[in-house]
Amino acid sequence: MKNKSKDDHIRISKFLSLVLRHSPETIRLNMDKNGWVNINELIDNANKYKNMHLNNDLIKIIVETNDKQRFILSDDRKRIRANQGHSITVDLELENKIPPDILYHGTATRFLDPIMKEGLKPMTRQYVHLSPTATIALTVGKRHGKAIVLRNYTLV
């Protein structure tokens, strides 16, 4: 039997990804231009419109234990937002940084031909996902089918 708590956390994490990265309107959530939402509003609306049974402690556990660090709480712990992967326009106020010499992109093999012809594109997201290691990129690519990893635009 699977761990019910782990399954619940995965289900809640997927729900948070949906409303914080793609469609806050699903639960009539007010999001500011930087992607922040009020945690109390998130809890109230998720419970009201989707019968999610969320609470502050559960959200904090999801944020702290998410393996990909998808979410972040504000310093006052009253707001939450997704860190990446938005298909809606948000300004994450990211700092420009010098990237490492090598970056990796994980994808499914079925996408390789278009990538080689047209290059990497964000598609429905704001940015192309690049990873600091091949291992992380492989994990990302597996979500979409048989995975392949590109390194600085060359096949690994």
Distances (CA, A) of 32 to 81, 88, 92: 10, 12, 11
Residues 93-113 pLDDT 10s: 888 888 888 999 999 999 999
**Residue-by-residue DSSP string for 12-62:** HHHHHHIIIII-GGGGT----TTS-EEHHHHHHHHHHHH-----HHHHHHH
Q: Does pTM surpass 0.85?
A: no
Q: Are residues 111 and 68 in the same domain?
A: no
Question: Does residue 51 fall inside a structural domain?
Answer: yes
Question: Does residue 124 fall inside a structural domain?
Answer: yes
Question: Does residue 97 fall inside a structural domain?
Answer: no
Domain carrying residue 147 = 104-155
Rounded Cα distance, 152 and 150, in Å:
6
Q: How many structural domains are present in the chain?
A: 2
Residue 4's pLDDT band, with cuts at 50, 70 and 90, is low
Phi, psi of 155 (to 5 degrees): -65, 135
Residues 50-78 pLDDT 10s: 999 999 999 999 999 887 788 999 999 99
User: What's 24's domain CATH number?
Assistant: 1.10.10.970
Rounded Cα distance, 111 and 126, in Å:
18
Rounded Cα distance, 21 and 83, in Å:
9
Question: Does residue 89 fall inside a structural domain?
Answer: no
Question: Does residue 95 fall inside a structural domain?
Answer: no
